[in-house]
Amino acid sequence: MAITGAIAISMVSIMGALVLDRISTDLYSSKRDQALQDSARATLAAQEQLDSSDATDLGAMNALAGSVRSTVQGTSASQLIYVSRQANQPASPIAPDDAGTSEQIREVISADLSDALREGESPQYWQSVRLVDDNGKSAPGILVASTIVFPAGAGSYDLFIGYSFSDVAQSIEFITRALIIMALLLLLLLAVLVWVISSLVFRPIRAAAFASHRLAAGEIDARIPLQADKHFDELSNNFNHMADTLQARIEELDQLSTMQQRFVSDVSHELRTPLTTIRLAAEVLRAQAGDDESSAARPVQVLNDQVDRFESLLADLLEISRYDAGPITLETEPTNMVVLAEEVVEGLRPLSPGIIELRPLGGFSPIDVDARRIRRIVSNLVGNAIEHGEGRPIVVTIDSNASSIAIGVRDWGVGMKPEHTEHVFDRFWRADPSRKRTLGGTGLGLAIAREDAAVHGGLLEVWSRLGEGSNFRLTLPRGDETNSFVSPVPLVPDDVTPELGDPEVTGGWLRRPGRRVRRERHR
Any idea what the CATH number is for the domain that residue 298 is in? 1.10.287.130
pLDDT digits (tens, 9 = 90+) for 290-333: 655 666 667 777 777 777 777 777 777 777 776 666 667 788 89
* Element at 333 (helix H, strand E): strand 328-335
**Do 382 and 306 share a structural domain?**
no
Count of domains forming the chain: 3
Confidence at residue 289, expressed as pLDDT on a 0 to 100 scale: 67
Distance CA(317)–CA(325), nearest Å, equals: 12
CB-count burial class (<10 Å; 0-12, 13-18, 19+) for 356: buried
Cα 342–346–351 angle (5° rounding)? 140
Position 229 in a domain = no
* Element at 443 (helix H, strand E): none
**Do 478 and 340 share a structural domain?**
yes
**Do 414 and 317 share a structural domain?**
no
Any idea what the CATH number is for the domain that residue 7 is in? 3.30.450.20
Position 110 in a domain = yes
Position 232 in a domain = no
Residues pairing with 470 in the sheet: 411, 464
Position 428 in a domain = yes
**Do 294 and 373 share a structural domain?**
no
Distance CA(85)–CA(92), nearest Å, equals: 11
**How many residues are present in the chain?**
523
**Do 118 and 61 share a structural domain?**
yes
Confidence at residue 441, expressed as pLDDT on a 0 to 100 scale: 55
The DSSP string of 138-184 is EEEEEEEEEEEEETTTTEEEEEEEEEE-HHHHHHHHHHHHHHHHHHH
Distance CA(377)–CA(383), nearest Å, equals: 10
Position 133 in a domain = yes
**Do 337 and 305 share a structural domain?**
no
Averaged pLDDT in 10-residue chunks for the chain of 523 residues = 82 90 91 92 91 85 88 88 84 84 84 85 90 79 91 87 89 90 88 84 83 83 81 84 86 78 71 78 74 66 75 72 70 92 92 91 90 92 89 93 92 88 81 52 79 89 90 89 82 81 56 57 52
**Do 501 and 381 share a structural domain?**
yes
Quote the distance between the C-alpha of residue 333 and its chain's center: 42
**Do 280 and 156 share a structural domain?**
no
Position 211 in a domain = no
Residue 367 per-residue DSSP state: E
Confidence at residue 470, expressed as pLDDT on a 0 to 100 scale: 93
**Final residue of a structural domain among 127, 142, 175:** 175
Alpha carbons within 13 angstroms on the beta-carbon side of residue 399 total: 15
Residue 138, φ and ψ in degrees, nearest 5: -75, 135
Confidence at residue 35, expressed as pLDDT on a 0 to 100 scale: 92
The DSSP string of 467-491 is TTEEEEEEEEESSTT--EEE-SS-S
192: amino acid identity, one letter? V
Q: Which residues of 285-298 are buried (b: 16+ CB within 10 A; e: fewer)?
A: ebeebeeeeeeeee
**Final residue of a structural domain among 175, 207, 222:** 175
Query: Cβ of 99: how many Cβ atoms within 10 Å?
Result: 15
**Do 392 and 509 share a structural domain?**
yes
Position 403 in a domain = yes
Interacting residues of 332 by C-beta distance below 8 A, sequence separation 6+: 368, 369, 370, 519, 520, 521, 522
Domain assignment of residue 38, given as a range: 2-175
**Do 441 and 301 share a structural domain?**
no
**Do 301 and 367 share a structural domain?**
no
Any idea what the CATH number is for the domain that residue 436 is in? 3.30.565.10
Position 487 in a domain = yes
